[in-house]
Amino acid sequence: MATDAPPPSKEQHKLPSPEEFTEVAESAEFGELRRSYRSFAFPLTVGFIAWYLLYVLLSNYAGDFMGTKLFGNINVAFVFGIAQFLTTFLIAWWYSRHAAAKLDPKAEAIKSRMEGGA
């Protein structure tokens, strides 16, 4: 199985002290990284949970609606169930793109500075 990641480096990295960790955790740069993550992940999580609960509640309390045939043996409940899977994969793909574009560069800059690379 091939990966795009380079092989691990043989050189030893400087381990940061607890004081350095605290300093970075309190920095504006780390705060921006946290904000970037939270502003993306939290709303999507809340939205997906609401969507999932809607599906569960409709399945439990709106059986006639969920049993409505759309075509052939395909009903509303089946379409909503498949949409749950599609939504999950869409969110994972979207998060992956967001992380690669916005989070990873910021995290890598902090990491390299912490390990003495900058």
Percent of the chain scored above 70 by pLDDT? 88
Above 80 in pLDDT, residue 111? yes
Output the pLDDT for position 16.
75
* More confident of the two residues 118 and 100: 100
Neighbouring residues of 37: CB distance < 8 A, sequence distance ≥ 6: 103
Rounded to the nearest integer, the mean pLDDT of the chain is 88
Model's pTM, two decimal places?
0.74
DSSP 51-94: HHHHHHHHHHH-HHHHT-EEETTEEHHHHHHHHHHHHHHHHHHH
Average pLDDT score over residue span 55-64: 94
